[in-house]
Amino acid sequence: MNLPAKTIQVRIEAHDFAGAIAVFLVVFSLTFPIVAPFLFINDATIALRFSNGIAVGLLFATGYTFGRHAGAPLRVGLLIPSWA
């Protein structure tokens, strides 16, 4: 078994860090609104209802945006939350 003559050195570059920060910001900005009611409302049941409402609203907004490109925004917007 022959090994390659030169070893390959992999380095983390600036665009790798920028990509990691971008992914973190997207994930954080989409999950924080769903978690926020638990930080501000003492009753867990009410906080859960608010959290569910926010999640359904975000799903509807995503479906509506996707539906604008597909030609039926309201239909897709209403269908996406029912799939989740």
Rounding to the nearest 10 degrees, give the CA dihedral for residues 65, 20, 53, 69: 10
Residue 49 has a CB neighbour count (10 Å cut-off) of 13
Tell me how many helices (H) and strands (E) the chain has: 3, 0
Say what the pLDDT of residue 5 is. 67
CA distance 75 to 84: 15
One pLDDT digit (tens) per residue for the chain, 84 residues? 677 667 777 889 999 999 999 999 999 999 999 999 999 999 999 999 999 999 999 999 999 999 999 899 999 999 988 876
User: pTM value?
Assistant: 0.72
